[in-house]
Amino acid sequence: MATPEFAVEVDGLRMRYGPHDVLRGVDLRVRPGEVVALLGPNGAGKTTTVEILEGFRKRSGGRVAVLGTDPDRGGDAWRARLGIVLQSWKDHPYWRVRELLAHIASCYPRPRPVGELLDSLGLAEHAGKRVQQLSGGQRRRVDVALGIIGRPELLFLDEPSAGLDPRTRRDFHELVERLTGEEGVTALLTTHDMAEAERLADRIAILVGGRIAAFGTHEELAARVQAPAEVRWHDGDRVRVERTREPEQLVWRLHQAAGGPVPGLAVRRPSLEDSYLELVRQDRADQDEDGSGDGVRGDRAAEEVAA
């Protein structure tokens, strides 16, 4: 079987719940080995999109191929190539962790060894506990273990680190980096955590108004919205702050005026959060201009930021 050019290929995806249009023509392409973060406000349709890609939800329209297969027609062999970390694992509360992992492992042709998984996710000391006895963060690690146990080629992570403490979150990020870096796993993650998206994702897609409003690297998104940088310096006893789209020019002028090093100089480039908030704001402004106020965004096409 030929390897498809894209691990995920979505064209004009539409989803309607009753009278409510949630997805209005989503276009998205994820290359093999790439990590893409899908960001968007609450209710934007991120989980809906991911569930359609996983084959759990039937779409209203559009074309979708995941590992070269339409999820509506994906069989067991196709499903075994996917890893899914859902928002929360609520099944099997009475199972003990090791038994649950061993049971799920038996469903896959080439599972990871359970002991190795328990160790790498810091679950070894909890292996004999029932799932219902675990804390929220420990249960989240079980969710992750279940998602990667079958050595997936493509991993879906829906708000993977929600509820994890900082240490566990860092361990989890390192695990995802190992999977995607060393094992070449492709990943699509939804998150509200900008630092997580910035750290893990090669490219970031912003879903708003039922479409992908922007898709690119963090730097490309920043360039697209032209969010200003913040320059701070000390002027005698005072701290001066200026926001500018041309920080190099300002710094050059400050150096010339000071005739040497500028005391307390700091330049803060726009963060992913700045870019994200600006893109969401622009989209809302477009909607207001359309006068629709219901998320319809005229005929502006989803736009991929040029590299």
Ligand X SMILES: Nc1ncnc2c1ncn2[C@@H]1O[C@H](COP(=O)(O)OP(=O)(O)OP(=O)(O)O)[C@@H](O)[C@H]1O
Q: What's the distance, Cα to Cα, between the start and end of the chain in Å?
A: 31
Residue 154's H or E segment, with its range, is strand 154-158
Using the rule CB under 6 A, is 58 a contact of ligand X?
no
Q: Could you give the string, one character per residue 169-198, with x where binding to ligand X holds by CB under 6 A and - elsewhere?
A: ------------------------------
The number of residues making up the chain comes to: 307
Q: Could you give the string, one character per residue 103-142, with x where binding to ligand X holds by CB under 6 A and - elsewhere?
A: ----------------------------------------
Q: How far is the CB of 40 from ligand X (least distance, A)?
A: 5
**Single residue of 40, 83, 160, 270 touching ligand X by CB under 6 A:** 40
**Single residue of 17, 56, 94, 252 touching ligand X by CB under 6 A:** 17
Q: How far is the CB of 87 from ligand X (least distance, A)?
A: 8
> By CB under 6 A, which span of 39-47, 134-142, 223-231, 241-249 interacts with ligand X?
39-47
Q: DSSP label at 41?
A: -
**Single residue of 24, 29, 46, 211 touching ligand X by CB under 6 A:** 46
Residue type at position 232: R
Q: How far is the CB of 46 from ligand X (least distance, A)?
A: 4
> Which SS3 state, helix, strand or coil, does residue 163 take?
coil
Residue 156's H or E segment, with its range, is strand 154-158
**Single residue of 4, 12, 34, 47 touching ligand X by CB under 6 A:** 47
Residue 241's H or E segment, with its range, is strand 238-244
The encoded tokens of residue 305 equal 């930021």
Contact 34, 5 (CB under 8 A): no
- Scored b (16 or more CB within 10 A) or e, 186-211 reads bbbbbbebbebbeebbbbbbbbbbbb
Half-sphere exposure (CA, 13 Å, Cβ side) for 21? Answer: 17
Q: How far is the CB of 43 from ligand X (least distance, A)?
A: 4
Instruction: Give whichever of 164 and 262 is closer to ligand X, judged by the CB atom.
Output: 164
Q: By CB under 6 A, how many residues form the interface with ligand X?
A: 10
Matching residue, tokens 């622009």: 282
Using the rule CB under 6 A, is 294 a contact of ligand X?
no
Q: How far is the CB of 48 from ligand X (least distance, A)?
A: 3
E strands, 110-228, in order: 154-158, 186-190, 203-208, 211-216
Instruction: Give whichever of 43 and 113 is closer to ligand X, judged by the CB atom.
Output: 43
Residues near ligand X (CB under 6 A): 17, 22, 40, 42-48
